[in-house]
Amino acid sequence: MGAPQLSTVEERRTAILETALAMFAERGYHGTSVPDVIVRAKVGSSTLYRLYPSKEALVNAVFVMAKEKLERAISVDLDRVQAPHALFHELWRRLVCFSRDEPLAFHFLELQDHTAYLTAQSRAVELRVLGPIFAACSEFQAMGAFTRDVAPEVILAFVWGALIGLVKAERTAYLKLSDESYEAACESAWRAFATKKR
Of 82-91, 94-103, 105-114, 185-194, the least confident: 105-114
Please indicate, yes or no, whether residues 163 and 101 belong to a single structural domain of this protein.
Answer: yes
Please indicate, yes or no, whether residues 137 and 186 belong to a single structural domain of this protein.
Answer: yes
Q: Which helix (H) or strand (E) holds 95?
A: helix 84-101
Work out the pLDDT band at 117, boundaries 50, 70, 90: confident
Q: Kindly state whether residue 131 falls inside one of the protein's structural domains.
A: yes
Please indicate, yes or no, whether residues 119 and 149 belong to a single structural domain of this protein.
Answer: yes
The number of distinct structural domains making up the chain is 2
Please indicate, yes or no, whether residues 15 and 96 belong to a single structural domain of this protein.
Answer: no
Q: What is the 3-state secondary structure (H, E, C) of 36-80?
A: HHHHHHCCCHHHHHHHCCCHHHHHHHHHHHHHHHHHHHHHCCCCC
pTM of the shown model: 0.88
186/162 Cα distance (integer angstroms): 9
pLDDT at 198: 52
Nearest residue to 62 (alpha-carbon basis) of 98, 8, 102:
102
Please indicate, yes or no, whether residues 47 and 73 belong to a single structural domain of this protein.
Answer: no
Structural domain for 35, as ranges = 1-53
Geometric angle at alpha carbon 160, from 96 and 171, rounded to 5°: 50
Q: Kindly state whether residue 59 falls inside one of the protein's structural domains.
A: no
Q: Taking 90 as the threshold, does the pLDDT of residue 85 lie above it?
A: yes
132/137 Cα distance (integer angstroms): 9
Residue 194, phi then psi, degrees to nearest 5: -70, 140
136/84 Cα distance (integer angstroms): 8
- Contact of 84 with 137, CB cutoff 8 Å: no
Q: Taking 50 as the threshold, does the pLDDT of residue 184 lie above it?
A: yes
Q: Kindly state whether residue 42 falls inside one of the protein's structural domains.
A: yes
Q: Which domain CATH number covers 28? A: 1.10.10.60
What does the pLDDT look like over 136-153, one tens digit per residue? 999 999 999 999 999 999
Which residues have CB under 8 Å from 87's CB, separation 6+?
79, 80, 136
